[in-house]
Amino acid sequence: MSWKKDEDSDDLGALMNLDHSVVLQEARVFNETPIRPRQSRLLLAKIVFLLYRGDPMSTTEATNLFFSITKLFQCKDMSLRQMVYLTIKELSTISEDVIMVTSSLMKDMQPTSEITYRANAIRALCKIVDPSMLPGIERFLKAAIVEKSATIASSSLVSSLHLFNEAKEVVRRWGNEVSEALNGKSLSQGSSSFFGGSSSQGQVVSTSNIVQYHAIGLLYAIRQHDRMAVLKLVQAFSGQQGKGSSGWMMGGGGSGSALRSNAAHVMLIRYAVRVMEGDGSLAPQLHGLLEEWIRHRSDMVSLEAARAVCQLRDVTDKQLTAAVNALQLFLSSPKAVVRFAAIRTLNALARTHPEAVQPCNVDMEGLITDGNRSVATFAITTLLKTGNEASVERLMKQMQGFMAEISDEFKIIVAEAVRSLCGKFPGKHALFLGFLSGVLRDEGGYEFKRAAIEAIVGLAKHVAECREVALGHLCEFIEDCEFTKLSVRVLHFLGEEGPATARPTVYIRHIYNRVVLENAVVRAAAVSALAKFGAAPSADAALLRSVRVLLARCLDDRDDEVRDRAAWGLRMTGAAEQTRSRYVRDDSAFLLPVLERRLVEYCADPRAKGARFDFGAVPRISRAQEEEARHRVRLDAMDHVLTGSALSPPPAAAAAAAAGGAKDDVPKGGAAAAAAAAVAAADETDRLARYARQLAAIPELAALGEQPLVSSQRAVELTEPETEYVVRCVKHVYERHIVFQFDVANTIAEQVLEQVEVAMESDDAGGALLPVVAMAIPVLRYDAPGTAYVAFERLTEDAATAASFACTLRFIVKECDPATGEPEDGDNGFGDDYSLEAVDLGPGDFMLPTYIPASDALWESLAESESVETFALSSFSGIEECVSKVADLLNMCPLDNALAPRSKAAHKAAFTGKWLGRAKTVARTRMAYQKGAGVTMELAVRSEDPAVSELVVSAIA
């Protein structure tokens, strides 16, 4: 039979070329008597296909169609009724008065109805019901949850999960029924009947146990904010609860609590990990559970447990042993999907813990020839991360053999793996450059070519021996590059690195070719690169003259951007050395998100008309920080795509943890710390702007007439996470005031708190702080955090840079109904106090961490304001621990490799910041470590305000 005849004779072929108006005209068949089931079913399929395809349908058309379809309830045909339910669900979001069909659906939900009727009616009804009407059908849904039929139970559980976002309090009342369904007390071995027959008739037995999977998801949604309840749920199904324990909050418990669904086991593992992330004290106990689940008989459960262990925060190599051993066994599985899952997890783990993955190298080498190219690609890239220098060349040759056979997504993984190897084995630069230049000549998309270009750029920056060869490959690439962005990137890099080479004229020729042959965007980038050659300190008179001639030719370009850049380049190449250094070779850059936001605010502010934009208020970062931060974003995006979440670095790499990178993924010289500083600077500025908007919206604080100059980088925890009341404090420093923001959460469902406030008592004996504002939280309900504020006025400009405050939480307690959150009638409550940890105020709270360009020149210019002190810090066991603590106390921006000491015996670090967001300050430390004596540190601080230097030094004292 020919394909054309097959297509014409198949009902599905009629759906491929549907006309919207024709389908609406055919809908008249729904009004005919008698009802024609087959024709009506096919027409309903066409309507659903149009909706899925995204064809627009007006409200009037949808409403008329909806009520025409409801007439089909008169027909008892099973297949037609299923299509009616589906179509009603899809039309309910765009139709009006859909609630009119409730009576028909309620009739099909009766226990005497067919199983298929009941299950589909529940789904359709929960889709169209209004939350206010939910109490009316609550009895039916609770009965359906514990129904013996798995089909009905699953439909009601999934529908309840969808309703939870709209009616949380109602669904929370169904906890006992959900727990019963989870324990399987009412289910007849997961039996179901999809096609005809009542619940009492013969049924098709299902072994999927899908009801448990849906029930555990709903039970977690009900109790996700109660950490102890989630912990008990995990323990109940892990065999750690006593056999006599029970209660829906624990998920049942007792000897009958057993998960037969592998999918439910997977969800339980994820819930256990979330509990561990929320409370570190439970990590040892739950880590033992994960190791037990790694030995589960199901591959799905074992893989999920191993993956969870590999993604734990601060996991050690010892804790990874069981997970890696299990993944190693899965590498030899006959199932391709199991091999893929195992090698993908090991590939992601190798970025942060390569030593832990090395025992699997022999097994991974056997996967290089795997028939599944995705598995083979992951195997090679993982071996590149964990192997030694001797095996790199062999692996690279094998990888070249199938680069043309894999997708761009995996080519990007290969390029990123090669980039990490460039910093790990710089002696193999010729091999890496040959491979990368070869893949640039192959066919590929933008993302793949960009990854290869970034790998070559990274290699050229950090391996001086191959710089000129790498620049040559890049010049060859832009001669035939189809991507404008990549051409601009390469031209920019040529302008940065080309002037320092032995023969800069070679690159000038390639750059000027872009001026002649390319589009306006590339021409503009080429002109800027030429200007950098002419402004370089190494440019001799002949080179400068040649560059100026080329720039003069660009003045006649047809694009105004190119002409403007050419005129600017001519001006700069003829300017003094100091001017060229400031405008052409500046090593800093604005934080672009902050600059954009400030410009938008400037243009929208009517008071700013006629005033100059203040560029000094926009923070800056170094070019290295900017580049490493972008690289970190790309790696995080790749981690999210490949593993579903980013992995945590090992605890030994504290500096890399701040940047989110692994030690082999970033170049040497503190690039991880550079990325961390860039991210921290952007986060700090965004945080300050967010807090400023939040505080300005409060009339009592807006009346202070000031904007916050510095806000805490992180909130201070004043209570333990598992206590009944959780309180965190954020400090905001104004010009003349200090505002303490207390975020309070009530974790007791049976209580509602009123007039919640924080009483603060300062140890400031001089009375330099005067309380002026105390804002209470009117009502604090369960699972609804609130914020209280306390503000002090600084009576003198230098007052209270160091103080401690005793804090007490005061409130009125009233008993309430957990289902509604409303206090009981006639309950006046009683007052209560709750002690909190003390809040300390130090010099670091007045410092805004800011990257300051040319900090060396600033240091020399502030010699007269220097304050120096030497400290004997015997409590520290190493330099890395000491420099991390000093950075926290100073609250300043680390420069270069300040947070990544290369030596265990001695270290130098530099920090910059602005006191109250204005006075530029530079701090330098010299540290020496001696076993038994601790760390000896010299701290020198210079600031534009001489008094600030002494205050910053006092932060350590």
- What pLDDT is stored for residue 667 in this prediction? 38
Q: How confident is the model at residue 388 (pLDDT cuts 50, 70, 90)?
A: confident
pLDDT digits (tens, 9 = 90+) for 546-559: 999 999 999 999 99
pLDDT tens profile 480-517: 888 999 999 999 999 988 888 888 888 999 999 988 88
pLDDT of residue 564: 93
pLDDT at 411 over 90: no
Check pLDDT > 70 for residue 900.
Answer: yes
pLDDT of residue 305: 93
CB contact at 8 A, 924 and 940: yes
* pLDDT for 812: 92
Is the peptide bond between 34 and the residue preceding it cis, with omega within 30 degrees of 0?
yes
Calpha distance 190→945 (Å, rounded)? 75
Model confidence band, residue 79 (pLDDT cutoffs 50, 70, 90): confident
What is the structure's pLDDT at 435?
A: 85
Identify the pLDDT of residue 664: 39
The helix or strand, by DSSP H or E, that contains position 943, with its residue range, turns out to be strand 934-943
Whether this prediction's pTM lies above 0.75 is answered by: no
Read off the pLDDT of each residue in 81-107 and give the average, rounded to a whole number: 83
Mean pLDDT, range 88-101, rounded to an integer: 82
Q: Tell the residue number behind the tokens 């045909």, with chain if given.
A: 77
**What confidence tier does 666 reach under pLDDT thresholds 50, 70, 90?**
very low
Query: Is it the case that residue 243 has pLDDT exceeding 60?
Result: no
CA distances from 723 to 223, 311, 717, 865, 882 (A): 16, 27, 12, 47, 31
Instruction: Give me the chain's average pLDDT, please.
Output: 80
Query: What are the φ/ψ torsions at residue 276 (nearest 5 degrees)?
Result: -65, -40
* Of 143-157, 175-189, 767-781, 861-875, minimum mean pLDDT range: 175-189
Is the predicted pLDDT of residue 844 greater than 50, yes or no? Answer: yes
pLDDT score of 635: 60
Most confident among 68-82, 847-861, 935-949 (mean pLDDT): 935-949
Q: What are the C-alpha distances in Å from 482 to residues 441, 455, 477, 518, 704?
A: 12, 19, 10, 10, 57
DSSP designation for 782: B
- Tokens found for residue 649: 């670095």
Q: What is the pLDDT of residues 719-749, one digit of tens each?
A: 887 788 899 999 888 888 889 999 999 888 8
Rounded distance, CA 503 to CA 542, Å? Answer: 13
Residue 136 confidence (pLDDT): 80
pLDDT tens per residue, range 700-711: 888 877 677 777
pLDDT given for residue 562 in this prediction: 92
